[in-house]
Structure 1
Amino acid sequence: MRAIAELLKKREGTVFSLAPQDSVFEALRRLADHDVGAMMVLDNGRLVGVFSERDYTRKIALAGKSSRDTLVKDIMTANVVTVSPQTDTRDCMALMSQKKIRHLPVMEGNKVLGMISIRDIMNDIIADHELTISFLQHYISG
């Protein structure tokens, strides 16, 4: 397994974020624009939460609230689980499974480096398995 820092290199400098005072409607628009399921919520560069499609469905749609009248800060997940760039993908998978989450912000101290998703982790695991299979096939065939 590789360190998360290697996965983040593929997105060099890409950090999608929202502000706490953004409307949920605007947040949904930005999720769609970037084709992502969650975004970090930053207040003056400091991570204060994560906003996800799950937050919207459970706290707005099912509650009968208006996405235009509700702010991100009112429904975001504030108790954010984070990882460091040195965390390996296997540990991230275990953490995501244990906490029942799909996105992990990557932090170095107080600095936000990016966010990885369960999809990123699965793609890495699949690539690792395919490489192992290739090595084994080559070894068997001589």
Structure 2
Amino acid sequence: MEIHGTVYDILHNKGGEILTTGLDGSVYDAIRLMGERNIGALVAMDQNEVVGVLSERDYSRKVVLQGRTSRDTKVGEIISRPAITVRSKDGIEKCMQLMTGNRIRHLPVVDDGRLVGLISMGDLVSWVMQSQRHTIEQLQGYISGDYPG
């Protein structure tokens, strides 16, 4: 099945702000922000450049399991880098291939060197489910004769 739509479509439906973290901040502060906002990742920035992603997975594997403390560990020490990014005009299938191929769950969206959004695997799954639901409704309408076509 071909999946239609672009990253822009997801961002347009999703809305919301883009939360970021610097490299020199403590992991504790970043994880606290993620908890407060109920999100699974922050885009790690150096000046105005996207350099990586800090995810809950990074925290659990690179702080907790290594016996570090989140207050004494800097974000830049544990982020996943380099950042694997997409553009607004990229297709949904490309995003899914990048996520599954690189075993990641978040993709920063960068247009002309500027961070414009962040999409998650959950965003992609929701988009695909919505797309499939729409296709099924169209097919049911066509079969029943209710669909003008």
Q: Which of 69, 72, 76 is the aligned partner of 2:72?
A: 69
SS, match of residue 39 in structure 2: coil
Amino acid at match of 1:118: M
2:121 match: 118
1:130 match: 133
SS, match of residue 36 in structure 1: coil
Superposed, 1:50-129 pairs within 5 Å as 50-129=53-132
CA distance in 2, matches of 1:18, 1:132: 39
In the TM superposition, what is the alpha-carbon distance from 1:11 to its structure 2 partner? Answer: 4.2
In structure 2, runs of 5+ residues without a counterpart are none
TM-score normalised to structure 2 length = 0.91
The total of aligned residue pairs comes to 142
CA distance in 1, matches of 2:101, 2:139: 32
Indicate whether 1:25 and 2:51 are aligned.
no
SS, match of residue 10 in structure 1: helix
The answer to which of 58-67 and 1-10 deviates more is 1-10
CA distance in 1, matches of 2:14, 2:59: 26
SS, match of residue 25 in structure 1: helix
In structure 1, runs of 5+ residues without a counterpart are none
Considering only CA atoms, is the larger Rg found in Structure 1 or Structure 2? 2
> RMSD value over aligned CA atoms?
1.1
Query: What percentage of aligned pairs have identical amino acids?
Result: 36
In the TM superposition, what is the alpha-carbon distance from 1:10 to its structure 2 partner? Answer: 3.0
Amino acid at match of 2:90: T
In the TM superposition, what is the alpha-carbon distance from 1:43 to its structure 2 partner? Answer: 2.0
Determine if contact 2:52/2:84 at 8 Å carries over to the other structure.
no
Amino acid at match of 2:65: L
Following TM superposition, the consecutive aligned residue runs of length 4 or more in structure 1 with deviations greater than 4 angstroms are none
